[in-house]
Structure 1
């Protein structure tokens, strides 16, 4: 893709701009669109060449599969070999919403979208603008996060432009995303359902529908050598600012004392609301200590703020890995490249 091309800035408030975004996508272009989770870099999911352009624009490894977005349940069936009853029950409970379901793919899905695997990840977003764009394009859309690969995911159109201006055809500004972290990814292409990436739909919610749900070891640990990337967000260092992120696990008093001992040029803290007055380094807060939903909503913007402020080292408060907090913890340990200091 020509990196000197002009990226159009479109508004989700204008019907004409939604139609224009759909037209660009139908013709093989790349458009960043808002969803309830993060902004996605969309392309025609049935067009292998268009999907390949996503990888080029993001600098994304080709073995990292894409998620296909649909705007109604009727679009799901042709993309997979079958929809088992447990998949349909999940759809009834959580779609439209931040849940991605992996099933064996049909021949309609190009290898570029599935990263050469025999499965496809599908999601039905709740954001009305995302669904309107899919309808305008007339095809399902493949859409990973609309950022440079490895950097914090974008939750505002300005984040997209900071990363991809000149690399994509357009960005459709639909305001800030309300969930703030990528969708939960669950594979049903095995006997026991397995959570591959935590998100806004929690393991507890999934178990209420399915009973048994395994959590893949790669949710909390690096992917093993030679293991396949079954879902986005599993293998590579992700969500990371330019600064070195270090996750600190321990009490508030232990965190405060450790960070204050490390005070110096370029040292910053990623903390909870109300803690900055007690820290002797510059800070950015990412939400209340007991509000995982707020932490998820503000995390990626906070990491981008720290980069803008010139942070070199970021000591991050460790969230509770429960409920939506599991998704926040998953993003932070990947942003930190699994560098965690146990303070106790």
Structure 2
């Protein structure tokens, strides 16, 4: 977000939000990834409010958000005291990852401390934690002086919000919901999730903009893909984490991916041929031209061919297209490569969950 366009929330508003959290209420707030629906991580009743507001299954764990301590003149932040109330043990790898990427869009999964509420872990013995980088989130968490659980601020399974207006649209009926406005989210897709709970290995549970390649380059830590971890028996039990449902991030309009040059193949999936189709095309390529189907009205929508920019605009595009009344939305399959894994993951889950009945099959 750029502060010249969006004034940061005033101290008074942040103080009111802190009080709301202390009183067991919900506060929607911006992070660099997406907007979160926040509650006091130590208050079981407040956590239940998140599940009922979102319509989220209660065995689906939440991520605890913590404030990064003020650095002042220290070269390195001391994360240890911040994490000890939440996690059982902190490995050297965990500290390396925090020092390299926190605050930022990286969530780490640990064995939980016994005081951590089952309501937020989905009954598991692991807890997911991150320190968000957005200045509004930082100020809120610093003043709150505690952990805030915050899944994305939308109805369960639907497209995540990347602006305060998205949150308000999503929860129109909830008049008492406080929404902190911090402009548009820069990253645009949820954080990368790495499991450290098995003790020995770092395992990728959800891809995001921070890739295993970047982690290896900055920390020397090898992050295993899920399939590798399973093949090598590196994980006795795989923790359930946010965003791991097969149907998720889904628009109400049917969404499909098409392979390069295969728009018509994607259409043939719909024999009752759809009459109004929005086709996303790479900004680096010339338009589709009329490779046409006489009964279809195409409209082309350019999408960025840079993976970071694509991620930052993905949910915005899906939300806007969903509201425009198309019969079908087609997106190009993202290219191969780790930097595209995060958006590929979101698009595949969005396709699976999309369509008018999407709420009924948000299953694993």
Give the shorter-chain TM-score range.
0.7 to 0.9
3-state secondary structure, aligned to 1:296 = helix
What TM-score, normalized by structure 1, do the two folds share? 0.86
2:342 alignment counterpart: 327
For the Cα contact (< 8 Å) 1:12–1:18, is it kept in 2?
no
1:86 alignment partner in structure 2: 93
Matched, 1:284 2:314: no
Match of 1:57 in 2: 53
CA 1:11–1:138 in structure 2 vs 1: closer, same or farther (change >3 Å)? farther
Report matched runs for 1:1-344 at 5 Å. 12-72=8-68, 73=79, 74-167=81-174, 169-190=177-198, 191-208=200-217, 209-217=219-227, 230-249=240-259, 251=260, 253-255=261-263, 258=265, 264-273=274-283, 278=289, 281-287=298-304, 289=305, 291-337=306-352
Contact 1:23 1:136 in 2 (8 A): no
- Structure 2: distance between partners of 1:62 and 1:236: 17
CA, structure 1 residues 13+195, in 2 after alignment: closer, same or farther (shift >3 Å)?
same
Q: Cα gap change, 1:321/1:238 in structure 2, threshold over 3 Å: closer, same or farther?
A: farther
Computing the radius of gyration over CA atoms, which structure comes out larger, 1 or 2?
A: 2
CA shift in 2, pair 1:44/1:313, >3 Å: same
Query: CA RMSD of the aligned region, Å?
Result: 2.5
C-alpha distance in structure 2 between counterparts of 1:108 and 1:55, whole Å: 21
User: 2:258·2:266 contact (CA, 8 Å) conserved in 1?
Assistant: no
Secondary structure at the aligned position of 1:71 is classed as coil
> Residue 223 of structure 1 aligns with which residue?
none
**How far apart are 1:14 and its partner, in Å?**
1.6
Q: How many residues align?
A: 318
Inter-partner Cα distance in structure 2 for 1:86 and 1:231: 20
What corresponds to 2:71 in structure 1?
none
Deviation of residue 166 (structure 1)? 2.9
Which aligned segments of 4 or more residues in structure 1 are displaced greater than 4 angstroms?
257-264, 274-277
Query: In structure 2, how many angstroms separate the alpha carbons of the residues matched to 1:11 and 1:137?
Result: 21
- In structure 1, runs of 5+ residues without a counterpart are 1-9, 219-226, 340-344
Matched position secondary structure for 2:51: helix
